[in-house]
Amino acid sequence: MPTRALTWAIFVAGAGIVAAVCVAILRPFANVIAWSAVLAILCYPRAIFGRSYAAEPEVLVKELGADEAIAAADTLLVTVPNTLGVEYNAHVIESILKYVAPELG
């Protein structure tokens, strides 16, 4: 019957072998795993970068014009939902470029 020390040695050796096999399997995906961790840190929670605006163009111009951070910014990130189709997205982007952007300067 094995002693307690021998049992632990077998367990630790087995755990080491399992860890080495896991590392060998995941090595080709190391860059993907690293970048997914970076994206998870940057993108969670979703509204970390600021407030969201959704309204008719006239209302958007008033709300965006009153926001001091947007007035000071040189770049504005616009997110369009991708689940509503290409035609709708094109309409939204066209409306922003045609009605909102010129009013904001």
List pLDDT tens digits, range 41-80: 776 655 446 677 888 888 888 988 888 888 887 777 888 8
> What is the pTM assigned to this prediction?
0.47
Q: DSSP of 37-98, one letter per residue?
A: HHHHHHHSSTTTT-----S-HHHHHHHHHH-HHHHH-S-------TTS-HHHHHHHHHHIII
CA of 92: how far to CAs of 4, 15, 72, 95, 101, in Å? 70, 55, 24, 5, 12
Q: Which amino acid is at 35?
A: W
Instruction: Give dist(CA 94, CA 96) in Å, integer.
Output: 5
> How confident is the prediction for the chain on average, in pLDDT?
83
Q: How confident is the model at residue 14 (pLDDT cuts 50, 70, 90)?
A: very high
For the chain, give the percent of residues with pLDDT over 70: 90
Using pLDDT thresholds of 50, 70 and 90, give the confidence band for residue 21. Answer: very high
